[in-house]
């Protein structure tokens, strides 16, 4: 049995999901020879540490570490001090400077710890730098959850499509935009009405700019460009148009002519823009779904679809990454 | 000379063979036959597009022969515009001189706006226009799109292109 001591950094929606999935799947994971043990949980209030693995009941109902933390250290200091094999970095994302996640990941990698993250910011800002650090320190950096949530995209390309040249990836990488456009088309809602509905359902943030202006999709385009296409792209290199100017009349007109309007991200062209998607296209998925079409030289076009966000769904991608690190032949023990 | 013909066939056995017979008789060299069984017309007929090379003086003979045999000839003639694309414009489409927007494509000589639908929800509200553009080739389609992008930037219109356009 391989014991994996995990430090969880970030205790928001995804952090809760990770604890839940690790708890629920404990026996299953032991069955494949992995004993995942969360030894610390850190947020801006402090750190809860237990070398034998944290008892999940202590965290039940807690929203942050206030009153629960037993160590007064946070951030990079906590990552450095705590003895663990792997850091799960799930703090809030910032795609301009990547902090605080960027500092956390650098600290973990330089301390010889594997990193699994759902945090786009650090990867958008410094993907190549972080991968080099990982390599130099003999550890791995995995980030499946950053693009398309639970939808397997990066691992699909790296494992199942290995040997293929990837010619292009196009897809819907933001569930909020997809939900708003779907509702506008189905119910003839105006943009602002559909947005309000999405906010009430918790699908859109109070400040929706990050989603509806295409910023989030552009971040994912940068991650795919750098990781799959070996580019050195920055956020500023992406040409971005969001969905604010789409009207229900335009959606209706498109529908009558056999099209949906979807916010499409494209690599390696580095473009995010609303496009006409034929109704019969596999990219024409509705609701909050994400979808990606991977165009390859040998396998033709492969399309995957799935939920792009959500606590348990994102955590599932994180746990898959953890398992893949310890089942990969490149790592000895 | 390369020509094309759009036919409508009854959905009964033997119709396709029968429609090709006059091409043989009048020494037409068939380049392609596209049989759209999955896109039946409201009349229940099956659209077929035939592209062929022939001495143009024989085209009337072929047409007559087909029509005598109950095959509907929707269109016959020189096939200039072989590629097409759909584009949607959102913004003040009409008040930024829609005529001029269309002219920019039509005046190229290699492409034309063939179909146009407008939605105008109200004064001051942005309107939407659907355009189908036909052109003499893939490269000309790409050029037309580039013209539209330029016009869109100039007139503050959102230009929504189809994903198929990317294959060009």
Three state DSSP letters for A214-272: CHHHHHHHHHHHHHHCCCCCCHHHCEECCCCCCCHHHHHHHHHCCEEEEEEEEECCCEE
Domain with A163, as residue range(s), is 158-307
Determine the Cα–Cα distance for residues B128 and B116; give it in Å rounded to an integer: 10
- Same domain, residue pair A80 and A195: no
Q: Which residue segments constitute the domains of chain B, with CATH numbers given?
A: 2-78 (3.30.70.260), 83-167 (3.30.70.2690)
A15 close to A8: Cβ distance less than 8 angstroms: yes
User: Considering only CA atoms, which of B75, B88, B84, B68 is closest in space to residue B48?
Assistant: B75
- Same domain, residue pair A109 and A230: no
Q: How far is A216 from chain B (nearest CA, A)?
A: 20
Q: Does A297 fall in a domain?
A: yes
By the CB < 8 Å criterion, does A190 face chain B?
no
Q: Does A108 fall in a domain?
A: yes
**Mean pLDDT value of segment B140-147:** 94
The reported pLDDT for the residue numbered B168 is: 35
Of B119, B120, B163, the CB nearest to A275: B163
The reported pLDDT for the residue numbered A88 is: 98
- Same domain, residue pair A107 and A210: no
The model's confidence at residue B43, banded by pLDDT at 50, 70 and 90, is confident
By the CB < 8 Å criterion, does B126 face chain A?
yes
Q: How many residues does chain B have?
A: 168
pLDDT digits (tens, 9 = 90+) for B62-72: 999 999 988 99
Non-local (6+) Cβ contacts of A42 within 8 A are: A7, A8, A9, A10, A11, A48, A65, A73, A74, A75, A78, A79
Q: Does A27 fall in a domain?
A: yes
Residues 120-179 of A with CB under 8 A from B: 168, 170
Per-residue pLDDT in tens (0 to 9) along chain A, 333 residues = 999 999 999 999 999 999 999 999 999 999 999 999 999 999 999 999 999 999 988 888 888 999 999 999 999 999 999 999 999 999 999 999 999 999 999 999 999 999 999 999 999 999 999 999 999 999 999 999 999 888 999 999 999 999 999 999 999 999 999 999 999 999 999 999 999 999 999 888 888 999 999 999 999 999 999 999 999 999 999 999 999 999 999 999 999 999 999 999 999 999 999 999 999 999 999 999 999 999 999 999 999 999 887 889 999 999 999 999 998 755 454
By the CB < 8 Å criterion, does B88 face chain A?
yes
- Same domain, residue pair A79 and A180: no
CA distances from A208 to A171, A177, A180, A264 (A): 20, 10, 11, 18
Average pLDDT in chain B: 88
Selected for mutation to probe chain B from A184, A243, A253 (highest B CB count within 10 Å) is A253
CATH classification at residue A101: 3.40.50.720
Of A257, A266, A274, the CB nearest to B86: A257
The reported pLDDT for the residue numbered A149 is: 83
Q: Does A332 fall in a domain?
A: no
By the CB < 8 Å criterion, does A284 face chain B?
no
Q: How far is B136 from chain A (nearest CA, A)?
A: 22
Active site residues per annotation of A: 220
CATH classification at residue A293: 3.30.360.10
Q: Does A65 fall in a domain?
A: yes
Residue B164: its chain A contacts at CB < 8 A?
278
Residue A283: its chain B contacts at CB < 8 A?
163
Of A245, A254, A264, the CB nearest to B126: A245
A261/B117 CB distance under 8 A? no
The reported pLDDT for the residue numbered B79 is: 63
The reported pLDDT for the residue numbered A309 is: 79
Q: What are the φ/ψ torsions at residue A254 (nearest 5 degrees)?
A: -65, -45
Determine the Cα–Cα distance for residues B10 and B48; give it in Å rounded to an integer: 11
Q: Does A333 fall in a domain?
A: no
For residue B24, pLDDT over 60 is answered with yes
- Same domain, residue pair A139 and A220: no
Of A241, A253, A273, the CB nearest to B128: A253
For residue B167, pLDDT over 50 is answered with no
Give exposure, B55-92, as e/b (b: 16+ Cβ within 10 Å). Answer: eeebbeebbebbeeeebebeebeebebebebbbbbbbb
By the CB < 8 Å criterion, does A254 face chain B?
yes
By the CB < 8 Å criterion, does B153 face chain A?
no
DSSP A275-328: EEEETTSTT---TTEEEEEEEESSS-EEEEEEE---HHHHHHHHHHHHHHHHH-
Using DSSP bridges, classify how beta strands B72-78 and B127-135 pair: parallel, antiparallel or unpaired: unpaired
- Same domain, residue pair A179 and A239: yes
Q: How far is B154 from chain A (nearest CA, A)?
A: 16
- Same domain, residue pair A126 and A35: yes
- Same domain, residue pair A206 and A190: yes
The torsion angle over the Cα atoms of residues A320, A15, A3 and A54, rounded to 10 degrees, is -150
Of A168, A249, A274, the CB nearest to B160: A274
- Same domain, residue pair A119 and A185: no
The reported pLDDT for the residue numbered A15 is: 94
A278/B88 CB distance under 8 A? no
Q: Does A21 fall in a domain?
A: yes
- Same domain, residue pair A72 and A208: no
ipTM more than 0.90? Answer: no
By the CB < 8 Å criterion, does B90 face chain A?
yes
Residue B121: its chain A contacts at CB < 8 A?
247, 249
Number of H helices, E strands in chain A: 13, 12
- Same domain, residue pair A20 and A110: yes
Indicate the number of domains in chain A: 2
Q: Does A115 fall in a domain?
A: yes
By the CB < 8 Å criterion, does A327 face chain B?
no
- Same domain, residue pair A52 and A70: yes
């Amino acid at each position: 049995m391989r014991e994996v001591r995990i430090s969880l950094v970030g205790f928001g929606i995804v952090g809760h999901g990770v604890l839940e999935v690790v708890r629920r799947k404990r026996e299953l994971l032991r069955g494949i020879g992995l004993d995942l043990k969360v030894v610390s949980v850190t947020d801006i209030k402090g750190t809860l540490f237990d070398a034998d693995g944290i008892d999940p009941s202590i965290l039940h109902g807690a929203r942050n570490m206030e009153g629960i933390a037993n160590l007064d250290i946070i951030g990079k200091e906590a990552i450095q001090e705590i003895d663990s094999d792997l850091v799960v970095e799930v703090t809030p994302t910032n795609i301009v400077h990547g902090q605080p996640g960027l500092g956390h990941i650098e600290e973990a990698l330089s301390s010889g710890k594997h990193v699994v993250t759902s945090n786009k910011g650090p990867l958008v800002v410094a993907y190549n730098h972080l991968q080099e650090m990982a390599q130099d320190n003999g550890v791995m950096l995995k980030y499946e959850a950053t693009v398309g949530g639970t939808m397997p995209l990066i691992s699909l390309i790296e494992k199942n499509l290995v040997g293929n040249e990837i010619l292009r990836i196009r897809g819907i990488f933001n569930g909020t935009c997809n939900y708003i456009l779907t509702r506008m088309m189905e119910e003839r809602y105006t943009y602002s009405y559909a947005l309000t509905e999405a906010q009430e359902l918790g699908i859109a943030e109070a400040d929706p700019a990050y989603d509806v202006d295409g910023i989030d999709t552009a971040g994912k385009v940068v991650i795919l460009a750098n990781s799959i296409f070996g580019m050195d792209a920055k956020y500023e290199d992406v040409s971005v148009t969001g969905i604010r100017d789409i009207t229900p009349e335009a959606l209706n007109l498109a529908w009558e002519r056999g099209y949906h309007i979807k916010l499409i991200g494209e690599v390696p062209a580095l473009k995010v823009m609303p496009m006409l998607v034929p109704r019969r296209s596999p990219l024409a998925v509705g609701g909050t779904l994400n979808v990606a079409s991977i165009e390859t030289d040998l396998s033709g076009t492969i399309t995957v679809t799935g939920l792009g966000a959500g606590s348990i769904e994102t955590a599932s991608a994180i746990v898959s990454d953890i398992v893949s690190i310890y089942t990969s032949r490149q790592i000895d023990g | 000379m390369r020509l094309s013909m759009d036919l409508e066939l009854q959905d009964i056995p033997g119709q396709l063979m029968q429609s090709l017979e006059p091409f043989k008789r009048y020494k037409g060299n068939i380049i392609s036959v596209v049989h759209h069984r999955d896109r039946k017309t409201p009349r229940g007929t099956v659209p077929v597009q035939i592209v062929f090379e022939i001495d143009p003086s024989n085209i009337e003979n072929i047409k007559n022969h087909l029509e005598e045999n109950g095959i509907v000839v929707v269109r016959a003639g020189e096939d200039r515009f072989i590629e097409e694309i759909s584009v949607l414009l959102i913004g003040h489409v009409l008040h930024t001189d829609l005529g001029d927007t269309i002219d920019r494509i039509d005046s190229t000589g290699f492409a034309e706006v063939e179909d146009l639908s407008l939605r105008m929800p109200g004064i001051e509200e942005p309107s939407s226009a659907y355009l189908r553009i036909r052109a003499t080739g893939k490269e000309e389609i790409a050029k037309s799109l580039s013209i539209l992008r330029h016009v869109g930037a100039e007139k503050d219109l959102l230009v929504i292109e189809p994903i198929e356009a990317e294959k060009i």
